[in-house]
Amino acid sequence: MSEDDAITPPPPPLPDLFVARTPEQARLLLDDTCQELLARVIRAGASATEAAQAAQITVKQAHHRLTRLVAAGLVQVVGSRPRSGRPVKVYRAVARTYRTPFELTDAATLEDLMGQIFGPFLDSFNERLVRLLVHDDRHDLLLTTDDRGRPTMNLNPQAMPREQRETYGALASFSRPQLDADTRRELERRLRELNDWVTDQDARQRGGPGTLPCLLGLFFTPERAGR
C-alpha cells in the first residue's frame, strides 16, 4: 500500500481560531506556499506528499515548510502511516482559522501590508502574462476608445496575427467606469458569485488530469471615498 493510499481515521474537530503570537508565525501565515499547505491540512490530515501535490511544489519543499510550520506551532504531527522503511508523518492544522494581529507583521501601515499580500501575486501575474504575450519584443501601447467612447490602453503585439490576439489563454482588464450605488452592489454580487464558482471548480478539479495552476484576481473598489 502506498503512502497516499493509506487510510487515516477521521481527525477530531479543529478549534475554531488560532491567534498568532510571534513574528515568525506572522511571516509563515503571510507566505503564499505556506497558505496552500495550511489549506490542505485544515481540510484533513495529510502527508508531505499529499500536501506537496495540493500546493504544486516538490515534496522536499513541502517537508521544509511543514517543518517550519510545526516548529512555529501552526501545524502539528498527529500520527504516522506505515510503509516500508520509515513511517510517514501525518500533519494537521491546529485550528480552522488563523488570525494575524497587524502589529506582528513587518508592515508599517495598512497600505504596506496590502502591498505585501498582493504585491507578489501581481508580480507573478505580470511575469506570466508577459511570457504569453512575447512572440517577439515589438509591443506597442495602443490607446483607443471603446464602443461607448471611453479611453482604453492595451499592449499591441505587432508581429502576432490579428486572429491570435484573443487567444492567449489569459485576460487582463482594468477600467474606471462610473457606476451608481445599485450597479456597484450588483457588480460586487456578481464578482462574489464568480469567485464562489471558481472556488467550487478548484475543489472539484484540483490535482486532476489536465489541470494547471492559474492566477486569478478579482478587484473592485470605488476610486474615491464613499459608497
State residue 172's pLDDT score: 73
Mean pLDDT of 113-141: 76
Residue ranges per domain, the chain?
A: 17-104, 110-205
DSSP conformational letter for 175: -
Mean pLDDT of 173-202: 91
State residue 7's pLDDT score: 53
Sorting pLDDT into bands at 50, 70 and 90, what band is 135? low
Res 58 pLDDT > 90: yes
From the list 25, 152, 163, the residue with the least C-alpha distance to 95 is 25
When comparing pLDDT for 27 and 130, which is higher? 27
Alpha carbon distance 157, 96 (integer Å): 46
Mean pLDDT of 46-67: 93
Distance of CA 123 to the CA centre of its chain: 13
Q: What percent of the chain has pLDDT over 70?
A: 81
Alpha carbon distance 74, 187 (integer Å): 37
Cell of residue 66, nine digits: 511543514
Sorting pLDDT into bands at 50, 70 and 90, what band is 159? very low
- The DSSP bridge partners found for residue 99 are 19
Confirm whether pTM is higher than 0.75.
no
When comparing pLDDT for 28 and 221, which is higher? 28
Helix (H), strand (E) at residue 91: strand 88-93
Sorting pLDDT into bands at 50, 70 and 90, what band is 133? low
Q: What percent of the chain has pLDDT over 90?
A: 43
CATH for 17-104 (3.30.565.10, 1.10.10.10, 3.40.50.620, 2.10.60.10)? 1.10.10.10
Alpha carbon distance 62, 57 (integer Å): 7
Cell of residue 145, nine digits: 476608445
When comparing pLDDT for 207 and 69, which is higher? 69
> To which residue does cell 500546493 refer?
55
3-class SS at 155?
strand
Exposure string for 16-34, b = 16+ CB within 10 A, e = fewer = eebebeeeebbbbbbbeeb
Sorting pLDDT into bands at 50, 70 and 90, what band is 155? low
Cβ 216 vs Cβ 196: under 8 Å = no
